[in-house]
Structure 1
Amino acid sequence: MAASVASRGTSPDPAPDLFKSEAEALEQARSTLALADADAQVYRTSLSELATHYERLMRETRRLIGRSDRAEREMNALNAQLQTLARQLEYRATHDALTGVLNRGAIIDMTAQALLHTGAVMIVLDIDHFKHVNDEFGHPAGDAVIRGIVDCLRQIVGEGAAIGRVGGEEFTVLIPGGQLEQGVKLAEAMRQAIAAHVFGAPVDRAITASFGVSANSAGTGFDTAYGLADTALYHAKRAGRNRVEVADDSV
């Protein structure tokens, strides 16, 4: 126990003085300078020693400055890499890996904010008979079809709207502050663009999509707005697919 207490009471060794020899040389030079009757050789010897230490000090200073500059450059490079990584992580957290559009969580958050502040038009679309594509041609071909659908959407959707993938073959297009007529026009343009696109091998045919549109005033809840658009999409499916339907109770 006594040894343990003594160990805890021992203070750490002081840090070594990196310039001890220079300090001693300087003190020696001051002592020599104070000598009233020293001859020239004593002064020359003292000055020579002081110059030697000064030169070493200069070399060490340059080395430390160089090391500091390298450390700063490395730190700046590391900070740049961290910022890039942060942006990549943020992108991956909010975007669909297959298509690059907003993922389910991100488009829901954006829609909820738009509904709260400005109201919004919601367009919900679903690829017609997509299960048949996967069953007949396989999932890689299905993924290619999904990417092709998104390419068609991007050709039509401008900067004032956002595209999100909310399910396997289901997407949402959000128009913050939009009007019903604007949403219907945009949905019809997207429908036509998809229907006119011929997908490559192994599908080698056109694919269609069905659309539901709801217009929602500020303060409308997300579930209400989405439910209206989804019901309209259901009517479009029941009415023969490859069409745009509007929610009866858009608010």
Structure 2
Amino acid sequence: MTPSLDTLCHSQFDCRLDNPTLLKAITNLCEATDSGLLLHSANGTEIFRFSSLRTRQAQHQVTSILVHHLERIGTVKLNVIDPDKADAIMMCVKQIIESSLDQDVTSENNENHHFRDILNAAPIAISYINGQTRNVEFINPMFQEVFGYSLDDIPTMDDWLERAYPDESFRNNIIASRSQKIADYRTLGLPVPDIRTHVVCRDGSTRQVLQRVRWLGEHRVTSYMDLSALSETENRMQTRYGMLEMLLTNATLDEVLISIVRRIENNINTGSRCSVLLLDKTHTSFEKSYAPSLPKNYNDAIIGVQIGLGVGSCGTAAYLGKRVIVEDIMTNEYWRDFTALAQLAGVQSCWSQPILNSAGDVLGTFAIYNDTPSSPNNDDIDLIGFAARLAAIAIENRSTQLDLENWAFSDHLTGLVNRRRFFELAERSLVESYQQHIPMSVVILDVDRFKKINDQFGHIVGDNVLKALAKCSKHVIGNQGVVGRLGGEEFTILLPESNLLQATSIAESLRQELAKLSTPDGSEDIVKFTVSCGVSSNDDLEISLDELVSRADHALYQAKRNGRNCVIAYQQPE
């Protein structure tokens, strides 16, 4: 029986509703809001269910139909503890699903959706303005709540300034000068200092705000923190936004984790300090410590400590994979062998939360230390959990970025840098060579009669020959330079700070080592191979990278003509 178009559409949406990224986002929302959730497709098939011990006690249930492009695609049932938050949580769930279904396959659009979701969830007013057209392209819900303006009210930057600062004299002098300073900071590549200002709202009232301007490409992102009624809760929300903001920047993982620690410290009681401890690759010992407010000798003592039951709050939390609250270090069994270390740091209580990745693996811990015996309140527990989740996102993002860089810059067969990456590094090295007046050399080598190896032994053996060549080359070259694969059986070596004579000697040493290699062919025979090398250098000459490579290639051709298995250095014609 041929399925109907309606059935096919629903099947498509069933598949898209089962997207792991979407379900992970819903899980995070449910965990953050203590909500239970049941997701069904349009035909009644259960797609996803989330519940916890606490959500099973929830009495309030809300059901909503999911509609996308005028088609019913499923239903959501939500169990919540606080009925006053039910509609808001349901709206967030539907927004997450809607965003996922509309999401483009390109990474750029994925990032745009992610960015907009973060801006929509931000607890402070934000505007997103095209710096070239001066059009206001986006304002988040909090912006409309704080100032009362809709996007129709302020379609351009000029419209916004006229509304927010109706006094023409003030606008033409103070605001114009402020705008020029913002432009100057951008030109210099410096962060724009935060500005305290008063903004006139749509209803005529005035709000004092702290304005922060950041640039993302050609877009100006401006946040406005309302200072009119700043409370402790709002302070905590601002801390969270600041940490979220760090994830949108090009900051390194170290900078993000230090920022998380610093921001939490600024938001908790005096005398409290924080740390992020990361596990090594074996997930058995602490490898890194981010705790700038704790003594250096305390941090040094933590590195290398194996996690386990009774290894302080953090070691135990990492071992158990769950939160550990120690209210009094001096009387707690977990700290029995570490009281001297605690006294060294001047801490008497420690609350530790494991940092878990999306697969549930422990990456490290986030902890708050206090200088007196202390118990956390609900806000403290919430803050610890939020910081740990944010640290996990930062770590996973960095891991993903490294994987992408490796994929983009590496040759997948040999693990060497690929052609694109090699020329980027060589171009950079050549500039430094001329700036610092030091030589630079390039070696191009080619496997002799490689086609015959492939024809006689097969491509698998041919691949093994290339991998053996790559491994040996990396070992011989070491930290003297960079080995890359140009393609096929052709390889290249970048030798910064090596003149023609030195580079030729290095190439000859490599040629001899490669001639000693033996590669099994899968039977009783072994495959021997040789290489020919061409060498060129920019000794006392300012030549382009293309010319340098061309000369090395010319020398390689000469080595082939001379009978192969040799090294030829390029010599300028008389």
TM-score when normalising by structure 1: 0.71
Cα distance per residue 1:107-128 (max 9 Å; x no partner):
1111122223314111100011
- Deviation at residue 199 of structure 1 after TM alignment: 1.0
Matched ranges for 1:32-111 at <5 A: 62-111=377-426
Moved more, 77-86 or 91-100: 91-100
Structure label with greater radius of gyration: 1
Distance 1:110 1:76 in 2: 32
Aligned to 2:430: 115
Cα distance per residue 1:63-114 (max 9 Å; x no partner):
4432332222111111111111112222222221111111101111111222
Distance 2:546 2:459 in 1: 31
- Deviation at residue 138 of structure 1 after TM alignment: 2.3
Are residues 67 and 158 of structure 1, via their aligned partners in 2, closer, same or farther at CA, if it must alter by over 3 Å? same
Aligned residue identity for 2:387: E
Distance 2:461 2:496 in 1: 33
Which residue of 159, 162, 185 maps to 2:482?
162
Distance 1:189 1:160 in 2: 13
Aligned to 2:304: none
Distance 2:499 2:534 in 1: 14
Distance 2:543 2:479 in 1: 23
Aligned to 1:23: none
Aligned residue identity for 1:161: G
Aligned to 1:213: 535
Aligned to 1:182: 502
Distance 2:571 2:377 in 1: 78
Aligned length: 192
- Deviation at residue 227 of structure 1 after TM alignment: 0.7
* CA contact 1:116–1:219 (8 Å) conserved in 2: no
Distance 1:96 1:153 in 2: 14
Aligned to 1:223: 546
Secondary structure in 2 aligned to 1:245? Answer: strand
Q: Percent identity?
A: 32
Moved more, 220-229 or 115-124: 115-124
Secondary structure in 1 aligned to 2:480? Answer: coil
* CA contact 2:457–2:521 (8 Å) conserved in 1: no
Distance 2:465 2:419 in 1: 19
Distance 2:521 2:403 in 1: 32
Query: Is 1:142 aligned to 2:462, yes or no?
Result: yes
* CA contact 1:117–1:219 (8 Å) conserved in 2: no
Secondary structure in 1 aligned to 2:533? Answer: strand
Secondary structure in 2 aligned to 1:159? Answer: helix
* CA contact 2:446–2:489 (8 Å) conserved in 1: yes
Structure with higher helix content: 1
Secondary structure in 2 aligned to 1:166? Answer: strand
Secondary structure in 1 aligned to 2:542? Answer: coil
Aligned to 2:40: none
Structure with higher strand content: 2
Aligned residue identity for 1:109: E
Unaligned runs of 5+ in 2: 1-143, 146-375, 434-438
- Deviation at residue 136 of structure 1 after TM alignment: 2.3
Moved over 4 A (4+): none
* CA contact 1:116–1:220 (8 Å) conserved in 2: no
Secondary structure in 2 aligned to 1:164? Answer: strand
Cα distance per residue 1:15-38 (max 9 Å; x no partner):
xxxxxxxxxxxxxxxxxxxxxxxx
Aligned to 2:121: none
Distance 1:198 1:120 in 2: 32
Aligned residue identity for 2:429: A
Distance 2:387 2:571 in 1: 63
Distance 2:470 2:451 in 1: 17
Which residue of 168, 172, 176 maps to 2:492?
172
Distance 1:85 1:64 in 2: 31
Distance 1:95 1:157 in 2: 18
Query: Is 1:238 aligned to 2:561, yes or no?
Result: yes
* CA contact 1:211–1:243 (8 Å) conserved in 2: yes
TM-score when normalising by structure 2: 0.32
Aligned residue identity for 1:77: A
Query: Is 1:193 aligned to 2:516, yes or no?
Result: no
